[in-house]
Amino acid sequence: MTAEYKVDGAIAVITLNNPPVNGLGLATRRAIVDALDKAQADAAVKAIVITGAGKAFSGGADINEFGKEEAMREPNLNSVINALDNCSKPTVAAIHSVCMGGGLELALGCNYRVAAPGTLVALPEVKLGLLPGAGGTQRLPRVLGVETALNMIVSGDSVKSEMLGAIPGQKLFDKLAASPDSLMDEAKALAQQVAEARPLPRVRDLPCKHPEGDAYFQFARNMVKGMAKNYPAPARCVDAVEAATRKKFDDGMALEREAFVELMWTAESRALRHLFMAERAASKIADVPGDTPLRDIKSVGVIGAGTMGGGISMNFLNAGVPVTILETKQEALDRGVATIKKNYEAQVKKGKLKQEKYEERMALLSTTLAYEDLKNADLIIEAVFEEIGVKEAVFTQLDAVAKPGAILASNTSTLDVDKIASFTKRPQDVVGMHFFSPANVMKLLEVVRGKATGKDVLATVMKLAKKIKKTAVVSGVCDGFIGNRMIEQYSRQAGFLLDEGATPQQVDKAIEKFGFAMGPFRMGDLAGNDIGWAIRKRRAVEQPDMKYSATADKLCELGRFGQKTGAGWYDYQAGKRDAIPSDLVNKMIEEHRKALGITPRKISDEEIVQRLVFALVNEGAHILEDGIAGKSGDIDMVYLTGYGFPIWRGGPMHYAGEVGLFNVVQAMQRFARNPNDDAKFWQPAPLLAKLAAEGKQFS
Ligand code: T1G
């Protein structure tokens, strides 16, 4: 059932019922028009109320239909709203919880609207690289005014119903219900009251003007150009709303429709829609049922009050979960707490956090030097020194102290979670929770699943990730999990590009122009070049055939670890973070090329970007083959939320699909023929080669 029809006295009630958020899929759209026909054919029915069952009035068009012909198949949403516009009896929308996108457009097609307080109202299409495509750009300005409507459409942000209802002169809501519980009674009462009222008020008949149209829309265009240079949709939103003030309603609708169809086929919209689905899919684990019982996490222990431990603690304090931080020395605890306070005070100073909220959070924080004090914690996360011996000591003690059923998590970024679990008698309770620095800011959380990790532990951590506003992605156990394993190949290619003739600044500029937040060399200087140095030393023992450019080691041998040592790939002025191209480093690279007998060549930005990005794609394909990531969208989520991959390109695996896997493999074959590149490096992963040969995508 996708819409229920019931007659209550003289009022017909149509209830959308397409869980989870009453997405307006084809079957639901058909059910609405059938119900409208039924109500109009029944002489006993004098008015109609439309509402939504469950947790939403409607979340809008059904995103599962995107890119499919069902989305456009009649009755499409515009046709449903036209049927409302031409309905012979008054229609009242009873709005609650969530009223978004096509759901709000549907409500705007009704003659009257009653909203429960606390309803989230939005036209979020722009966040999918679209614009409202069922009259939202033409109707919302008519009921809220041009400026309020345009702000909502260009931002895509939700606004509470009571705020919109308080706008002087607004015509969006005819009534705000006293409470969600009284909504239906009040909507039916209004329907009864207007049953004979004629002519029926239609939003499309309202005037739509802006007193200084030219100046305002010029201002709006300038604003949008600045904030959305990589996205075409916001500018089209401005065009459509401007059309509402200048054209007849139907002509404005035609412009909106044309813009909507055009945007639907842009790479940016495909990327944003992929991101929307991938983010939700990431929280689903193939072999962990959605109804897996969860463990109750009422308190958290964090071991280590350093940068990571402090940041991790803040995530839970922010979510109202009490935290006990354990350290080995009081001064380490004091330093850690002082850093947490400093972070919060900075937010209070910027007006991003209220003083009382800050105090509330600090009241949830306690500290200790004794493992004993963690005995009641439901989840304990260690963030101690990245050395297996230290982890062994910590988990051995945790095993002795933690209560049965406590989840024991390691924040390790490189060590073997199975080995860590083996230090306990409860491997089923052990899981990796790999936060990214700064842990209280970065959205990505790699949840590392050990061989023995319990399904309820995984389900609990994935749910908890949502509560602390993290994007959690499950990774299997391997060196570097998903993100760091891929970035190692990316960094190797960056080094080879230097050997062949590129400079650090040229590589960084090329990939930053492609959209990365930061190129590999600026990022190395920020994170510390010694991290990669330690990994290469380990590699030299474990995997001697894995070649690297020697430039990175030479840099570290000069003590140039990056910003923390005042010099890295770039030079830095004291106290500043601006990366200054270094003559010393560029000379070192030139001498290194000579020693290799390589004549430097000019390398195009396109080749730089392809070699860096396809290095990620190929390793991502290996990660899928090895079962370390469950789906390619998970890999995209890791790169979009943890490694600065440009959002509007959808992540490395999605981007490879946009390029075409055939073309990716063709490029890799060209690189393999380059005498100075590592032919073995460009051996396509079997999965990539197979999909490319079959003309398929990763997902
Ligand atoms: N259609 C179908 N399913 C949807 C959906 C939608 N529009 N929105 C969410 N879901 C699913 C989601 O996949 C998840 O499924 C479940 O609902 C809970 O979502 C013509 C073309 C509505 C505020 O962009 O902002 O209308 O994983 O985890 O935190 O102009 O979802 O449980 O199986 O996010 O409570 C415009 C997008 C579409 C709204 C609920 N609408 N959704 O948040 O739960 S374009 C949107 C949201 C459009 C017209 C155009 C949020 C939410 P599962 P959730 P939540």
Tell me the C-alpha to C-alpha distance, in Å, between residue 346 and each of 316, 335, 340, 358, 435.
18, 16, 10, 11, 22
Tell me the C-alpha to C-alpha distance, in Å, between residue 261 and each of 2, 72, 132, 269, 489.
26, 10, 11, 11, 39
Shared-domain flag, residues 155 and 184: yes
Separation of CA 134 and ligand 1 centre (Å): 17
Who lines ligand 1 at CB under 6 A?
Answer: 20-21, 23, 56, 59-64, 77, 98, 100-102, 105, 124-125, 128, 130, 132-134, 136, 280
* Cβ–Cβ < 8 Å for 29, 77: yes
Residue of 57, 58, 63 with the most ligand 1 atoms within 8 Å of its CB, for mutation: 63
Could you say which residues of the chain have pLDDT below 50?
Answer: none
Shared-domain flag, residues 306 and 196: no
Atom 34 of ligand 1, residue of closest alpha carbon: 280
Show which of 416, 450, 475 is a domain's final residue.
475
Separation of CA 598 and ligand 1 centre (Å): 54
Termini Cα distance of the chain: 30
* DSSP label of 200: P
In a domain, 276, yes or no: no
Separation of CA 59 and ligand 1 centre (Å): 5
Separation of CA 650 and ligand 1 centre (Å): 18
Separation of CA 276 and ligand 1 centre (Å): 9
Shared-domain flag, residues 371 and 517: no
Q: Determine whether 500 is an active site residue.
A: no
Shared-domain flag, residues 467 and 516: no
Q: How many domains does the chain have?
A: 3
Instruction: Determine the pLDDT at residue 136.
Output: 98
Which atom from ligand 1 is nearest to the alpha carbon of 123?
Answer: 36
Return d(Cα 580, Cα 117) in angstroms, integer.
54
Which atom from ligand 1 is nearest to the alpha carbon of 23?
Answer: 1
Shared-domain flag, residues 332 and 251: no
Return d(Cα 267, Cα 377) in angstroms, integer.
47
Query: Which residue range forms the structural domain that includes residue 201?
Result: 3-264
Strands 300-303 and 379-382: parallel
Instruction: Determine the pLDDT at residue 1.
Output: 59
Show which of 241, 264, 287 is a domain's final residue.
264
- Two tokens, residue 587: 């000379």
Instruction: Determine the pLDDT at residue 501.
Output: 96
Say whether 384 sits in a helix, a strand or coil: coil
In a domain, 414, yes or no: yes
In 476-623, DSSP assigns E strands to 570-571, 580-581
Shared-domain flag, residues 81 and 202: yes
Q: Determine whether 256 is an active site residue.
A: no
Return d(Cα 377, Cα 322) in angstroms, integer.
9
Which atom from ligand 1 is nearest to the alpha carbon of 63?
Answer: 1
Instruction: Determine the pLDDT at residue 540.
Output: 87
Shared-domain flag, residues 458 and 490: no
- Which residues are 300's β-sheet partners? 323, 379
* 84: nearest Cα among 257, 204, 245: 204
Read off the CATH number of the domain in which 26 is found. 3.90.226.10
In a domain, 273, yes or no: no
User: What pLDDT digit, counting tens, does each position of 530-574 carry?
Assistant: 988 988 888 888 888 888 999 999 999 999 999 989 999 999 998
Shared-domain flag, residues 460 and 514: no
The rounded Cα 47 to chain-centroid distance in angstroms is: 42
In a domain, 498, yes or no: yes
Instruction: Determine the pLDDT at residue 475.
Output: 98
In a domain, 269, yes or no: no
- Two tokens, residue 359: 């105090």
Return d(Cα 208, Cα 244) in angstroms, integer.
6
User: What pLDDT digit, counting tens, does each position of 197-211 carry?
Assistant: 999 999 999 999 999
Atom 22 of ligand 1, residue of closest alpha carbon: 59
Read off the CATH number of the domain in which 609 is found. 1.10.1040.50
Read off the CATH number of the domain in which 327 is found. 3.40.50.720
Strands 11-16 and 3-8: antiparallel
Instruction: Determine the pLDDT at residue 69.
Output: 85
Return d(Cα 390, Cα 371) in angstroms, integer.
15
The length of the chain, given as a count of residues? 699
In a domain, 131, yes or no: yes
Residue of 21, 72, 96, 106 with the most ligand 1 atoms within 8 Å of its CB, for mutation: 21
Which atom from ligand 1 is nearest to the alpha carbon of 64?
Answer: 2
In a domain, 169, yes or no: yes
The active-site residue, picked from 4, 69, 74, 105, is 105
Shared-domain flag, residues 459 and 497: no
Return d(Cα 190, Cα 443) in angstroms, integer.
45
Residue appearing with tokens 């390109």: 649
Strands 175-176 and 120-122: unpaired
What crossing angle do the helices spanning 605-625 and 652-659 adopt, rounded to 10°? Answer: 110
Atom 2 of ligand 1, residue of closest alpha carbon: 62
In a domain, 279, yes or no: no
Which atom from ligand 1 is nearest to the alpha carbon of 24?
Answer: 1
Instruction: Determine the pLDDT at residue 679.
Output: 77
Return d(Cα 434, Cα 431) in angstroms, integer.
10
| CB within 8 Å of 178: residues ≥ 6 apart | 117, 186
Shared-domain flag, residues 395 and 347: yes
Name the phi and psi angles at 628, rounded to 5: -75, -35
Show which of 217, 238, 264 is a domain's final residue.
264
Give the side-chain half-sphere CA count within 13 A for 333: 15
Return the amino acid letter for 221: R
Separation of CA 375 and ligand 1 centre (Å): 40
Shared-domain flag, residues 468 and 525: no
Separation of CA 47 and ligand 1 centre (Å): 30
Shared-domain flag, residues 258 and 317: no
The active-site residue, picked from 4, 70, 125, 392, is 125
